[in-house]
Amino acid sequence: MMCWRDGEVELAGQVSSLALVDRCRCDSDSCATLYCVPKPEGAWGSDHRNILLATKEGLTVVDVLDEKIVCIEILDRAEIRARVLELLL
Ligand SMILES: [Zn+2]
């Protein structure tokens, strides 16, 4: 796991244009994870990596596959979760 660095700016630029395909369907009350591509059957694959974002609250991890953002894991952010549930029932 690594942190968002200057070199990741290109990835950061993708955030505003990401398509949201689905949200995580786990039972956790703290989970607001979003999928930008359909969730894979198994693991993401060998070119997959995680980037831990420096957030003040909660935990946000961006999942990158082949230099594309495929998933954003968002934990312990009640206001984002409420929004996610509203958008993606
Ligand atoms: Zn989840």
Q: With pLDDT > 70 as the criterion, what percentage of the chain qualifies?
A: 90
How far is the centre of ligand 1, averaged over its atoms, from the C-alpha of 2 (Å)? Answer: 21
pLDDT of res. 4 = 59
How far is the centre of ligand 1, averaged over its atoms, from the C-alpha of 10 (Å)? Answer: 26
pLDDT of res. 5 = 62
Q: Could you state, in order of their start, the residue ranges of all structural domains in the chain?
A: 2-87
Backbone phi, psi, residue 61, to 5°: -130, 125
Q: What is the pLDDT of residues 29-64, one digit of tens each?
A: 999 999 999 998 899 988 999 999 888 899 999 999
Please determine, for residue 88, whether its predicted confidence score (pLDDT) is greater than 90.
no
Please determine, for residue 9, whether its predicted confidence score (pLDDT) is greater than 80.
no
d(C-alpha 29, C-alpha 2), whole Å: 26
Residue 35, strand partner residues: 22, 71
* Lowest mean per-residue pLDDT among 6-20, 28-42, 70-84: 6-20
How far is the centre of ligand 1, averaged over its atoms, from the C-alpha of 14 (Å)? Answer: 22
How far is the centre of ligand 1, averaged over its atoms, from the C-alpha of 36 (Å)? Answer: 14
